[in-house]
């Protein structure tokens, strides 16, 4: 009989969002008459249609595939040159950052990339020779679950977390931006603007992480999926704005939350040639070399229409249309922040991120707040406990919604009184 990867069986109680869906289904089955009044501010999925420049580029690309003279088959596995050039120009060179087009790996999104990246890293717990890995808590569950699936952790711990991972608490006291650890570590995941807390890291704080990584020979996996939401130009939109980061960091980028590509599927990973890992025997190896090899073997790249859609995001029209999408969601975030504050709730985030992070009223747990908002106000939020032990006592509200729903959601927070 075929043998499975039994690390999957360690995954605690399933992924957060299936549990939310389950509770919403239980509620709607019990209350079918009011099911359509539910406002979903839970999952972080965009709601507005694609920018016009993207639609036009995709239509043209499909027509090209319909014609023998312009038809395209397999392209380069890591993306067409014009796409990688547009990315480098728009996201890096224009900001004074020296990233080369061949350090860009175009993909179907950063969730798959963060997962695939595990393939080029050692597996096993630290005691078995695997990486000592740090995550923030609360955390985007994908990083943790990927490590569990690869066998890099021990079993789940009651109350949240896994043995073998190092958790750095994000709290109101540190503004949800933990300082680097003092113990020896090999790999760390950072995500700013942050999902779920909406917190943003300052340039000096990120510089401390980069200095720490260089001094400790650690690798930073930097998730910048929400960089388009950074409003203040003094805040870093890429880790490569920090000198030396091109020797210690890889960066995951996504078009999901900027161009509204959650359904189109596209992102990219930056792996600078100078970033190294080591073999178990201590020999230093370029991660770029391994990642390149992984792409050559495991992928044939993403579709032609989607690559044309990416390039369209970097045209002047595409940029202006993306900027207005972001403005729309950020106005939603502002409305939600103010609604929370008006209710006397303590609130963070929503200033450089499409998420608002709210403290539950005193004595209320985050699943209690979830259940109260669902049953009394037909409002779905995300309980903070689903993002880790230190998410307990908070909930996340997503600004990805229609204006009408956001205004109504703000009013429904009264149910927590
Ligand atoms: C939405 C999101 C992503 C994007 O994932 P895609 O696979 O590109 O859609 C990545 N990281 C975080 C933290 C996210 O919230």
Q: What is the pLDDT of residues 239-268, one digit of tens each?
A: 999 999 999 999 999 999 999 999 999 999
Region 228-236 average pLDDT: 97
Place 160 in a pLDDT band, splitting at 50, 70 and 90: confident
Decide: residue 32, CB within 10 A, 0-12 exposed, 13-18 middle, 19+ buried. Answer: exposed
The span from the CA of 83 to the CA of 78, in Å, is 10
> Does the Cβ of 110 fall within 6 Å of ligand 1?
yes
Mean of all residue pLDDT scores within the chain: 96
Residue 251 CA to ligand 1 center (angstroms) comes to: 12
Residue 256 CA to ligand 1 center (angstroms) comes to: 7
The atom number, within ligand 1, closest to the CA of 110 reads: 8
pLDDT digit string, tens, across residues 260-278: 999 999 999 999 999 999 9
Closest residue by Cα to residue 256 from 231, 221, 226: 226
Query: Tell me, what's the pLDDT at 13?
Result: 63
- Per CATH, which fold does 8-49+322-416 belong to? 3.90.1150
Torsions phi, psi for 69 (to 5 deg)? -70, -30
Place 158 in a pLDDT band, splitting at 50, 70 and 90: confident
Which two tokens mark 126?
């630290």
Query: Length of the chain, please?
Result: 417
> Does the Cβ of 133 fall within 6 Å of ligand 1?
no
**CA distance to 203, 251, 295, 383, per residue, from 207 (Å):** 6, 15, 30, 31
Output the residue whose Cα is nearest ligand 1's atom 11: 225
**296 by DSSP, 3-state: which?**
helix
pTM over 0.85: yes
Is the bond into 196 cis (omega within 30 degrees of 0)? yes
**Strands, E assignment, 271-354:** 276-278, 284-286, 347-349
The atom number, within ligand 1, closest to the CA of 267 reads: 8
> Does the Cβ of 197 fall within 6 Å of ligand 1?
no
The span from the CA of 348 to the CA of 358, in Å, is 6
**What percentage of the chain carries pLDDT values higher than 90?**
95
Place 391 in a pLDDT band, splitting at 50, 70 and 90: very high
Which of 140, 266, 399 for a ligand 1 pocket mutation test, highest count of atoms within 8 Å of Cβ? 140
**CA distance to 97, 360, 371, per residue, from 20 (Å):** 41, 17, 10
Which two tokens mark 220?
């930073």
Helices (H), 233-363: 287-298, 304-313, 316-342
**What percentage of the chain carries pLDDT values higher than 70?**
99
> Does the Cβ of 193 fall within 6 Å of ligand 1?
no
> Does the Cβ of 44 fall within 6 Å of ligand 1?
yes
Span(s) in the chain for CATH 3.90.1150.10: 8-49+322-416
Q: Which of 12-16, 200-204, 316-320 is predicted least confidently?
A: 12-16
Span(s) in the chain for CATH 3.40.640.10: 57-316
Say which CATH class 57-316 falls into.
Answer: alpha beta
Region 140-144 average pLDDT: 94
The span from the CA of 398 to the CA of 279, in Å, is 41
Which two tokens mark 395?
């909930």
Region 165-175 average pLDDT: 98
């Amino acid at each position: 009989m075929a043998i499975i990867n039994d690390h999957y069986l360690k995954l605690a109680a399933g992924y957060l969002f299936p549990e939310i869906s389950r509770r919403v289904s239980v509620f709607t089955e019990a209350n079918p008459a009011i099911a359509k009044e539910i406002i979903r501010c839970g999952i972080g999925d965009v709601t507005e249609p694609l920018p016009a420049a993207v639609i036009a580029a995709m239509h043209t690309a499909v027509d090209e595939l319909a014609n023998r003279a312009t038809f395209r088959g397999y392209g380069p596995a890591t993306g067409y040159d014009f796409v990688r050039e547009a990315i480098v120009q728009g996201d890096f060179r224009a900001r004074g950052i020296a990233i080369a087009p061949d350090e860009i790996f175009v993909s179907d999104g950063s969730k798959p990339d963060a997962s695939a990246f595990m393939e080029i890293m050692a597996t096993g717990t630290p005691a078995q020779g695997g990486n000592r890995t740090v995550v923030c808590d609360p955390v985007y569950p994908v990083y943790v679950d990927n490590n569990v699936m690869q066998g890099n952790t021990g079993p789940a711990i009651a109350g949240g977390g896994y043995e073998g991972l190092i958790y750095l608490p994000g709290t109101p006291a540190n503004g949800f931006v933990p300082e680097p650890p003092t113990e020896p570590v090999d790999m760390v995941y950072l995500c700013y603007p942050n999902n779920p807390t909406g917190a943003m890291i300052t340039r000096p704080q990120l510089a401390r992480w980069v200095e720490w990584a260089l001094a400790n020979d650690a690798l930073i996996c930097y998730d910048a999926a929400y960089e388009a939401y950074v409003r203040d130009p003094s805040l870093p939109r890429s880790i490569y704005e920090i000198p030396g980061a091109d020797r210690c960091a890889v960066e995951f980028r996504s078009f999901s939350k900027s161009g509204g590509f959650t359904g189109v599927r596209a992102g990219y990973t930056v792996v600078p040639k100078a970033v190294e890992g080591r073999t178990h025997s201590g020999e230093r190896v370029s991660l770029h070399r391994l990642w390149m090899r992984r792409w050559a073997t495991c992928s044939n790249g993403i579709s032609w229409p989607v690559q044309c859609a990416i390039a369209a995001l970097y045209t002047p029209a595409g940029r202006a249309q993306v900027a207005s999408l972001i403005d729309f969601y950020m106005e939603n975030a502002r409305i939600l922040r103010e609604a929370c504050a008006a209710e006397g709730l303590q609130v963070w985030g929503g200033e450089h991120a499409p998420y608002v992070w709210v403290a539950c009223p005193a004595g209320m747990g985050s699943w209690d707040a979830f259940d109260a908002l669902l049953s009394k106000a037909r409002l779905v939020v995300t309980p903070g406990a689903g993002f880790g032990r230190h998410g307990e006592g908070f909930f996340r509200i997503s600004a990805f919604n229609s204006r009408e729903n956001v205004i109504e959601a703000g009013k429904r927070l009264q149910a927590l009184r």
